[in-house]
A and B are shown apart, each in its own frame.
Chain A
Amino acid sequence: MTYLPSDNNPSPRGHRLARALLLGTGLALLAGCSAAASSARPADAPPPPAAPAAAVPEPFASTYAPRPSADTAIVGASILTGTGTRIDNGTVLMAAGKIVAVGADIAVPAGARVIDGRGKWVTPGIIDAHSHLGVFAAPGVQGHADGNENIDPYTAHVWAEHSIWPQDPVFTKARAGGVTSLLILPGSANLFGGRGVSVKNVPAVTVQQMKFPGAPYTLKMACGENPKGRYGSRGRAPATRMGEVAGFRRAWIDAAEYGRKVDAYEKKRARGEAGEAPKRDLGLETLAGVLKGDILVQNHCYRADEMAVMLDVGHEFGYKTRAFHHAVEAYKIADLLAKEDVCVATWATRWGFKMEAYDAIEENAAILTKAGVCVAIHSDEQRLVQRLNVESAVALAAGRRAGIDIPQEEAIKWITLNPAKMMGVADRTGSLEPGKMADVVLWSKNPFSVYAIAEKVFIDGALILDTSDPATRYRSDFEIGQPVGEE
């Protein structure tokens, strides 16, 4: 059995194109102002060569700051590291918000807080690669329906982070299930639903305070019943699956042209030549970012035949799909997905709610894992996000029933390292390895047990939830003064 190596993005990838364009327009404005003020330089003179991109702040930049943390050692626990290893009676050492050491013979430095993990289990923080928390917030009233800009099938220009309500009480409930990071995506009504954003699951007032620092952007795409059902019923395209694929192809043609214009302008600028910056187009900017490889494609797609078509769309236009989401028929094309190095984010239990979900089987994750595909168990819903560990156990058991015995130390990757890979943050979180963010869960029992409770949840080394300490029981503003119950 082979397993895909963990993702090792060399550096946080920003959206270079957006930055370049911002830089261009920003300098143009600046040039205009300075020309009016002092005429230091002719207004038609070429702008100076681009400054280092980092000099220009990214829009909506993360202001996430790790909470204060104490150097901590969890000792004596069974550890599923997320790298395919299980360590019994092991120690996890965290310092300054990072994992420092993981192993059976780790010396605990003087002064470190020691947590007795005997009889308990430690995993990396749980990661949900498909969430709508905050964009379809609870209560699920119309005033909170912010996940689908469903008036047009092409909405690559919208960003999920502009819809996220940090007071969604379900963030807290997810934390109680050990969830430390999530990929928040727009819904699936549109062919291009918009940009998704990775967040750290911390209490926050602004979305910027949650944004996973340096995480790449993602683009939500959707094939199948949702877009054609939404728009066909309104007498407009796409009304069929072939209409959807045609819509994707047209959009990529536009995106490629836009990218060429921007590149041509950038080259001129770099040479110090005059030129007018192309007007920014937010949607095409996102699609062009995909073609450059800066923005990761997260493609909602159920059926095997459709995934195969979408892979070919990617080949035609030179983009790579990072993950197919839901992908309940992925087991029918496991070898193709392995060959194409595409991840799959799926469930074990959900099926039959529409035609394209009729062939979903509990064994999907196990079959794909055996074939070498990187698999995540995702939630896409508010209750399931609280027990991705139980959902993974269902997938494990189904595999065993079918004769595929995935070891637990591999299966834990379904909700840790593999979703991190899909989000492009596997170099920073998703496993217990020195240097990574200390996103850690201490479970009362084996996490594949329905009885397991996430007793302690660390995010960047900070003990953000401790079931033995009521002071860590966070309530969102919405819940204040309400008759809320226990988690």
Chain B
Amino acid sequence: MQRRLPVFAALALALAAAAPTAAAQTFAITNAHIVTPGPVGEVENGTVIVRDGRIAAAGSGVAVPTGMRTIDARGAMVTPGLIAVNTALGLLEVSSVDGSVDNKTHNSGISASFDVQYGLNPASTLIPIARLGGVTHAVVMPDYDDSEKERELPFAGKAALISLGEGANILHRPGVGMMLELGEDGAARVGGSRAAEFVQLRQIFDLARQAPRDEYPFELSQADIAALKPVLAGTMPLIVVVHRAADIQQVLKLARDYRLKIILSGAEEAWRVADEIAAARVPVLINPTSNIPSNFDMLGASLQNASILKAAGVEIAIGGNDAGHRVREMRYNAGLAVSRGLPYAAGIEALTLAPARIFGVADQMGSIAAGKAADIVIWDGDPLEPLTQPTAIFIAGKEQPMTSRATELGKRYMR
């Protein structure tokens, strides 16, 4: 699993020579060690046929059409592109520079209606850096700006799915979820107690179900109420950041009462109520390395969270180590979960098909399968290992540059 392939310099040249037309997105990858969730599964010596940016066929015994450009993977591992969750990619450049951060607002008039799709910056240097970690898509989520202490702010706003492919339009799908943080930090925004928080949430959902009014309590605007309509209709998932087991149980009850489609995020103590989460068919976005009892909401934080949840039948997606700069580490986090008992295939799935399913795009991405976009990464080893690097990355069949601002800086100073 630790083979390194010098072949891709030649590959890059071959592809760079081709014009950026649809023809460039038609090729075959041969001698591929395919590792993908879905029916294709693991194929030691397989072939992937890409036509016009889509996967036309994949597996063993797939014939390469005569004259089709061929990339010989020489046995290297080939996986679907990784789909990051819990990110602010495209909304963030330097964390401490407010003017370069667009994933949150302290505007009291915008809560649920906050919409990340309007703040995206395709030129962000974070995008190529995440991409060099094999990340081809990301769920971009709003966060809270707590600098306005008096602000009552239940919802952070609407998330979007973006492509990390080179180009001017990175928005793949807006409105893939509504962000809500509960627990200690969420309670702090609505008066300091979760006992108040759940009462207020129920009040807001009841109001949103009723006929429109001129004014709403809790600093909610008409736009905010309108933004909650798809959540109450069950067409937009409510992404709930929550940590403590007891809070998770309250969220599950809230979801039952209002028939909400929910996704748990953070969920450090989810392992303690894994069976209940599984029974509710609620997926969970986690960082398996989050095992610090950072506050009284997550005293039970454990490296075993991922494996226990998976064993209970919970769908999990694994994220990186922050919202932007360290998204590329998501694959190591999956590796860590595997070292603590998560089956290897589940580790790969938690980076690819699971997030695609959770955010409703599994028909388009997340696995190497005929009909899906050719979001493909070729690796020089096991992608969950830090010693491994991608050697070629395709997004919708388009080969991506293997450079970033960081690699360019390194090159400048190396002799």
Contacts A225-B96, A352-B95, A355-B97 given; does A453 touch B339 at CB 8 Å: yes
Question: In the complex, which residues 428-471 of chain A have their Cβ closer than 8 Å to any Cβ of chain B?
Answer: 448-453
- Tell me whether A485 and B300 are in contact in the complex, defined as CB-CB below 8 angstroms, given that A331-B413, A354-B96, A358-B94 are known contacts: yes
For residue B289, CB closer than 8 A to chain A, the reply is yes
In the complex, how many angstroms separate the beta carbon of A378 from the nearest chain B beta carbon? 16
A352 and B271 form a contact (CB under 8 A):
no
Contact between A361 and B410 (Cβ–Cβ < 8 Å)?
yes
In angstroms, Cα B140 to Cα A172, docked, is: 35
Chain B positions 261 through 288: 1 when the CB is less than 8 Å from some CB of chain A, otherwise 0:
0000000010110000000000000000
| Nearest B residue to A367, CB-CB | B414
User: Interface on chain A toward B: helix, strand, loop, or mixed SS?
Assistant: loop
> Which residue on chain A has the smallest CB distance to residue B386?
A393
The answer to whether A139 touches B302, judged by C-beta atoms less than 8 angstroms apart, is no
B32 contacts the other chain (CB 8 A): no
- Known A361-B406, A483-B300; contact A351-B414, beta-carbon cutoff 8 A: no
A157–B235 Cα distance when bound, in Å, is 60
Which of A359, A394, A482, A483 is within 8 Å of B332, CB to CB?
A: A394
Residues of chain B within 8 A (CB-CB) of A360 are 406
Provide the residues of chain A in CB contact with B300, threshold 8 Å: 482-485
Q: Are A367 and B96 in contact (CB under 8 A)?
A: no
Bound together, the chains give a CA A206 to CA B4 distance in angstroms of 49
The answer to whether B93 has its CB under 8 Å from any CB of chain A is yes
A444: nearest chain-B partner, CB-CB: B339
- For chain A, the count of residues having a C-beta within 8 Å of the partner chain is 53
With known contacts A170-B292, A332-B413, A483–B339 Cβ distance under 8 A: no
CA distance A170 to B304 in the complex (A): 16
Instruction: List, in ascending order, chain A residues with CB within 8 A of B338's CB.
Output: 450-451
Contact A351 B325 (CB under 8 A): yes
Q: Nearest-CB distance from B299 to chain A (Å)?
A: 5
Q: Are A450 and B385 in contact (CB under 8 A)?
A: yes
Quick one: closest B residue to A482, CB to CB? B299
Complexed CA–CA distance, A387 and B338 (Å): 14
Nearest Cβ distance between residue B415 and chain A, in whole angstroms?
9
B269 CB contacts on chain A under 8 angstroms = 483
1/0 per residue B377-415: CB within 8 Å of A? 000000011111100000000000000001101110110
- B315 at the binding interface (Cβ < 8 Å): no
Q: Give the CA-CA distance A351 to B327 in the complex, in Å.
A: 11
Quick check: A484 and B126 within 8 Å, CB to CB? Answer: no
Q: Assess whether A397 is in contact with B389, with CB atoms less than 8 Å apart.
A: yes
A354 to B305, CA, bound (A): 31
- Report which of A349, A355, A487 forms a contact with B94, defined as CB distance below 8 A: A355
The docked-state distance in angstroms from the alpha carbon of A396 to that of B389 is 11
**Residues of A with C-beta under 8 A to B304:** 485-486
* Cβ of B293 under 8 Å from chain A: yes
* Bound-state Cα–Cα, A355 to B94, Å: 6
Let me know if A487 and B414 touch, CB within 8 A.
no
CB-CB < 8 A to B325: which residues of A?
Answer: 350-353
Tell me the complex Cα distance, A225–B95, Å: 13
Select one of A394, A400, A403, A484 contacting B293, CB under 8 A.
A484
Across the interface, name the chain B residue whose C-beta is closest to A371. B415
A169 interface residue per 8 A CB criterion: yes
CB <8 Å contact, A485 and B326: no
Q: Is there an interface contact between A382 and B292, defined as CB atoms closer than 8 Å?
A: yes
| Residue contact B411 to A449, C-beta cutoff 8 Å | no
Q: Chain A: residues with CB nearer than 8 A to chain B?
A: 138-141, 169-170, 173, 225, 331-332, 334, 349-355, 358-363, 367, 382-383, 386-387, 390, 393-394, 396-397, 400-404, 448-453, 478-479, 482-487
Q: What are some 21 contacts across the A-B interface (CB < 8 A)? A: A138-B292, A169-B293, A352-B126, A355-B96, A360-B406, A361-B407, A361-B409, A361-B410, A362-B410, A363-B414, A387-B289, A393-B385, A396-B386, A402-B411, A450-B335, A453-B339, A483-B272, A484-B300, A485-B272, A485-B302, A486-B340
- A-binding residues in B (CB < 8 A): 4, 93-97, 126, 245, 269, 271-272, 289-296, 299-305, 321, 324-326, 328-329, 332, 335-336, 338-340, 384-389, 406-407, 409-411, 413-414
